[in-house]
Amino acid sequence: MSQQQTGAHLIAETLRALEVPVIFGIVGIPVIEVADACIAAGIRFISFRNEQAASYAATAYGYLTGRPGVCLVVGGPGVLHAMAGVGNSMVNTTFPLLLLAGAAPTGDSTTKGSFQQLDQVALLAPHTKLALRPPSLEQLPNAIRDAYRAAFYGRPGATYVDLPADYIQAPIPSSPSRISAVEQAPKILADPERIRAITAALAASKSPLVIIGKGAAYARAEADIRGFVDATQIPFLPTPQGKGVVPDSHPLNTSAARSATLKGADFILLIGARVNWILHFGTRFRSGAKIAQVDICAEELGRNGVDSSLSVIGDISAVLAQLREQLGGYAHPSSSPWRGAIHESSTANTRKARVKEDAVTAPGERLSYQRTFRIVEDALLQLAASPEQLVYVSEGANTMDISRSIFSIAAPRQRLDAGTYATMGVGLGYAIAAEMAYNHSPSSSSSPKRVIAIEGDSALGFSLAEIETMARYRLPIIIMVMNNGGVYHGISDDTTEFREVWEKDERRLEGTLPSTALGFETEYDVVARGLGAKGWRVETEEELKSAVEEAWKHQGPSLLNVIIRSGAGGKLSFGWLEKKEGAKL
C-alpha cells in the first residue's frame, strides 16, 4: 500500500543524503508531513514546546558535532520564534544552523493574507549567510544542500530555506536534482611569511600566552593545541567555551590568574577567539603586546584596533603544525619570572576562592553559590566514571559567572553557556542538543556522557516547558536551579525571615516591586514533577548531596530546586563586565 510520494518525501530523502541524524523543531501545517517523512526515513525528530528552544538546540548541535544543526518550523510565527536561534548562530560564529520553514504556497501574492504568511526570505536574508526559496520543487534538493553547505563552510553561521506548502504537497517530480553528502571543508594553510614573523616574535617574548577560544573547540583542534602547549610550555588561557580544549587541570592553565596573565603577556597567540567583550576589546592586554590571531575569517583580524600584522587566516590545526615546524625545539623555560608570577597569582586567587567554597553552611543559613557548586562538583566526580563523562550547560548571570570558575572542565566542547550573545533561555535546548550529540548520534563515543544544566531561576523560566520534552524522550539530564527569586538577586534579605518578608511585601500591590524580582521560592521542583521529571527541593548541604545522587540514578530528567541566598542588598554585578582591575573572572 504505497503512498503517493510528495515533496515532503523528497525533503526527507535530501536530508538523509546529507546524513542529517536529527532534526529539532515544532510541527504544524504544512510541515507535519515533512517531519513524518523524515521520521519514516530514519531521521530523529525532537519535538519542542517553543521554536526558540528548538532553534537554540539546533545551533548547539552544530557546534558539538561540527555539522549544521537542522531546525524545522512552521512559517510566520514559527520563523519569528526561530529567529532567536538564527541570531545566536550568527553571533557565536561557531554554531552552524540550517533553518527550514513552511511557507505559504508559491502562487499566493504577499497581500493575499494567507495562513501564517510572511516574506521569510526577505526577513532572514540580512541575518543569515544565505536565505532562499528554491525556484521549483525539482531544484529543492540542491537548494537544501547549498544551504547546508553554506552553514558550515567558511565561518559557520545560519542559513535558511523556504518550504512552500505547494512544494511539500506536490507529487515528487520525475527528475528531481539528486544530491550527495557534503564533504568537510578543505583546510586553509597560513601565509608562511607570517608564520616566520610569529615565530620570531615568540622567540623574543619574555611572557608569552596562548588564548584558546571556542573556535578552537569547534575546529576540533584539541590534540594539536595540547601538543603545542606541551611542546612549547607556553601558559594558556581558555575563554568560557574554550575551556576543556586543554583540560582545566593542566599545569599551564592560567584561568585562576586571568587578570594578571592578560595584563602581563607581551605576546599572545589568539586561537579561535575574537577581541570582543569576552576579551575586553583588548583593553586589558598589555600595551604594545604582540597579538598573533589565528582565525578562519579574514574580516575578523584587526578588530577594535588590535594590530593584526602578525595575524593569519587558516585552520587552527594546520596553522599550529606550521608553527611547530618553524619553532623547532622552542620551549618557554619553566623557571621564567613569567611562570613564577602566574603561579603566585593563581595560588593566591585559588586560596581566596576556596574559602567561599569550603565555608560550611550554618544551620538555618541559606546555601551560597560557591558552596552549592563545590558540593555538586565533588558529588558528581564521585559518581562519574571519569571527569570526561561530565558535560555542563550553564546560564544566568551570577550562576554562569560563578560556576565557570568552580567546575573544572576535562574535555573539549563539554561546557556550553550563554555565549557571545549572552543569550538567556538557551540552557534547556542546549542540554537536549548535548544529550543528542553525545548519547544518540551515530558517531557518539562508546561511553555515555551526563549532561548537567546549571540554571539561574530567571534563565530557566525562558524555556521551562522543555522539561516535558526531556521527559518525553527520557533524556537523563540533571537540571539544577539556583533559586534566589530574582534576576541577579531576589528581594528578601538573608538575615530576615524569608517567607514573612515576601508575604507581607506591599510592593507587589503598590506596583513598586523591583524589576529584578521573581517569585519567592517558586516550586520549580513541583513544576518539574508535573512535566514528567523528578524534582527535589533542596535547602541544606545534605539534601543537596543526596538529590545529586538520586538524580544520577534516574533514567529521565531531574530538577534540583536549590534555594540559595537571595543576595538582596548586594550590588547588581556581572563580573565579566566589571571595569575594576582584578575582578575575578
What are the residues binding Mg ion (CB under 5 A)?
456-458, 484, 486
Chain-centre distance for alpha carbon 456: 16
Which 253-292 positions form the footprint of ligand ADP (CB under 6 A)?
A: 272-274, 276, 278
Which of 76, 141, 215, 282 is the binder for ligand ADP (CB under 6 A)?
215
Residue 425, classed as helix, strand or coil, is coil
In the list Mg ion, ligand ADP, none, the entry touching 457 (Cβ below 5 to 8 angstroms by class) is Mg ion
Partner interacting with residue 425 (select from ligand ADP, Mg ion, none; CB below 5-8 Å by kind): none
The entry of ligand ADP, Mg ion, none near residue 399 (CB within 5 to 8 angstroms by kind) is none
Total residues in contact with ligand ADP, by rule CB under 6 A: 24
Q: Which residue is nearest to ligand ADP (CB)?
A: 215
Residue 407: closest CA among 249, 584, 210: 249
**The Cα angle at residue 71 between residues 67 and 77, in degrees rounded to 5:** 150
Q: Shortest approach of ligand ADP to residue 187 CB, angstroms?
A: 8
Choose among Mg ion, ligand ADP, none what residue 224 binds, the Cβ cut-off being 5 to 8 Å by kind: none
For ligand ADP, which residue of 55, 59, 88, 94 counts as binding (CB under 6 A)? 94
Selected range binding ligand ADP among 9-17, 214-222, 336-344, 363-371, rule: CB under 6 A: 214-222
* Longest alpha-carbon distance in the chain: 78
- Phi then psi for 527, rounded to 5 degrees? -60, -45
Task: Check residue 152 for interaction with ligand ADP (CB under 6 A).
Answer: no
Q: Are 479 and 428 in contact (CB under 8 A)?
A: yes
Whole-number Å distance between alpha carbons of 559 and 453: 9
Among all chains, which residue has been given the C-alpha cell 541570531? Answer: 87
Interatomic CA distance for residues 235 and 334, integer angstroms: 10
User: What is the CB-side half-sphere exposure of residue 479 using CA atoms within 13 A?
Assistant: 39
Q: Strand, coil or helix: what is 26? A: coil
- Partner from ligand ADP, Mg ion, none binding residue 133, C-beta < 5-8 Å depending on class: none
* Buried-exposed string 218-245: b where 16+ CB fall within 10 A, e elsewhere: bbebbebbbbbbeebbbbbbbbbbbbbb
To the nearest 10°, the Cα dihedral for 388, 391, 395, 397?
Answer: -10
Per partner kind, with CB cut-offs from 5 to 8 A, the member of ligand ADP, Mg ion, none near residue 484 is Mg ion
Residue 365 φ/ψ, nearest 5 degrees: -85, 150
Q: Does residue 68 have a cis peptide bond before it, meaning omega lies within 30 degrees of 0?
A: no
Residue 456 binds which entry of ligand ADP, Mg ion, none, CB below 5-8 Å type-dependent: Mg ion
Q: Which is nearer to ligand ADP, 56 or 520 (CB)?
A: 56
| Smallest distance from ligand ADP to CB 372, Å | 26
- Least distance between Mg ion and beta carbon 563 (Å): 11
Measured from the CB of residue 180, what is the shortest distance to ligand ADP in angstroms? Answer: 23
* Closer of 262 and 460 to Mg ion (Cβ): 460
Does 477 bind ligand ADP (CB under 6 A)? Our answer is: no
Residue 545 contacts ligand ADP per CB under 6 A: no
| Least Cβ distance, residue 106 to ligand ADP (angstroms) | 36
- How far, in Å, CA of 540 to CA of 136, rounded? 62
Q: Could you tell me which stretch among 52-60, 105-113, 236-244, 560-568 binds ligand ADP (CB under 6 A)?
A: 236-244
Q: Smallest distance, Å, CB 415 to ligand ADP?
A: 11
Closest CA to 120 of 168, 150, 58, 163: 163
- CA dihedral (288, 290, 296, 298) positive or negative: positive
Residues that bind ligand ADP (CB under 6 A): 92-94, 155, 213-215, 218-219, 239, 241-242, 272-274, 276, 278, 295-297, 300, 315-316, 420
